[in-house]
Amino acid sequence: MIKDNLRDYITARKIELNAVIMAHYYQPAEIQDIADFVGDSLQLARQAAENPAQVIVCCGVKFMAESAKILSPDKSVILPSPEAGCPMADMATAEALRQKKAEYPGAVVVSYVNTSAEVKAESDICCTSSNAVQVIRSIPEDKLILFVPDRNLGRFVQSQTGRDMILWGGYCPIHDKLSLEDIQEVRDRHPSALLVVHPECRPEVSAMADAVRSTAGLLEYIKNSPAQEFILGTEAGFIHTLKKHCPDKKIYLAYEQFICKDMKLIDLEQLAFAMETMQSRIEVDPEISSRARQALDRMLQIS
């Protein structure tokens, strides 16, 4: 089926299903363009909790679809590519977290939204890169904090809050690859460009940046900045969003292989097939969902 027909079918089928298509900023351009809503993890979570549609088609990775199901248990949640996972999320398991909690009884467990439903169920509160600093500041200063699983985001939050935290050893294999050498190389080619990076990057990279923000935060920063050139330290798919919102600004990727393969697994054919068959529905055990929902709800209460 040609792409125009696929788009027509997806649009018509969406009406039949009373569905909403949500896509992350890192998704392929054709998926972003057909989605009803494009955003980062926090924005997608809020949409899942508030959107009146009865079917949520999540164009992202598994932990995002699980979060949507947890926040909207009575809705059908479809993940068009069920193999779309997150290596960082896989670096923390519920069993390992329970063992770590036993080492630090009384610690407040803050889990990045990039975790499985089972890990969220073992957590006190979740966070995203958009609100991690606010979440940590909401915790009383006399409380010990266990931050799971991203050590780089954790270190960035520590630098912003001054809080001492126990950091898990996980990381995003894509953002963690960005090195000072990569940055110097692209800066040599574009000396006037501002460096803007995601807080999943290494601490030494974040320390060099003109701005460290979530994807949504980077969008706002670039839109509102008087600068005209930017070196982008996050996944390549985000450039499509930036070109739509900031067509007159020049964006240079910090390194050419800034690509998350899991975020590129969904195409129009897969999306149409998933909506036609309603396959790849996401289900979460009710007991796990109930406990994970508490951690997500606490996160959503913090702006």
The structure's pTM equals: 0.94
Q: With a cut of 70, say whether residue 162 has pLDDT above it.
A: yes
What integer best gives the mean pLDDT of the chain? Answer: 96
Give the tens place of pLDDT for each residue, 183-239: 999 999 999 999 999 999 999 999 999 999 999 999 999 999 999 999 999 999 999
The owner of tokens 């080619």 is 189
SS3 letters across 228-289: CEEEEECCCCHHHHHHHHCCCCEEEECCCCCCCHHHHCCCHHHHHHHHHHCCCECCCCHHHH
Portion of the chain with pLDDT greater than 70, in percent: 99
From the CB of residue 53, how many other CB atoms can be counted at a distance below 10 Å?
Answer: 19
Give the tens place of pLDDT for each residue, 70-127: 999 999 999 999 999 999 999 999 999 999 999 999 999 999 999 999 999 999 999 9
What pLDDT is recorded for position 1?
A: 57
Half-sphere exposure of 21 (CA within 13 A, CB side): 25
The owner of tokens 């809050």 is 161
Answer for the pair 172, 113: CB distance below 8 angstroms, yes or no: no
Task: Spell out the domains of the chain, with CATH numbers in brackets.
Answer: 3-84+263-283 (3.40.50.10800), 89-167 (3.40.50.10800), 175-259 (3.40.50.10800)
CA distances from 230 to 68, 189, 197, 224, 248 (A): 33, 12, 10, 12, 12
φ/ψ bin of 150: left (φ > 0), alpha (ψ from -120 to 50), beta (otherwise): beta
Instruction: Tell me the residue type at 141.
Output: E
Portion of the chain with pLDDT greater than 90, in percent: 95
* Burial state string for 113-126 with b = 16 or more CB within 10 A and e = fewer than 16: bbbbbbbbbbbbbb
Q: Which residues make Cβ contacts (< 8 Å) with residue 247, sequence separation at least 6?
A: none
SS3 letters across 88-129: CHHHCCHHHHHHHHHHCCCCEEEEECCCCHHHHHCCCEEECC
What strand order describes the sheet that includes 55-59? 37-39, 19-24, 55-59, 76-78
Q: Which residues make Cβ contacts (< 8 Å) with residue 44, sequence separation at least 6?
A: 22, 24, 37, 58, 60, 64, 67, 68
Answer for the pair 255, 175: CB distance below 8 angstroms, yes or no: no
Answer for the pair 190, 252: CB distance below 8 angstroms, yes or no: yes
Answer for the pair 213, 233: CB distance below 8 angstroms, yes or no: no
User: How far is it, in rounded angstroms, from Cα 86 to Cα 299?
Assistant: 20
Q: With a cut of 90, say whether residue 18 has pLDDT above it.
A: yes
Q: Which residues make Cβ contacts (< 8 Å) with residue 54, sequence separation at least 6?
A: 17, 18, 19, 75, 76
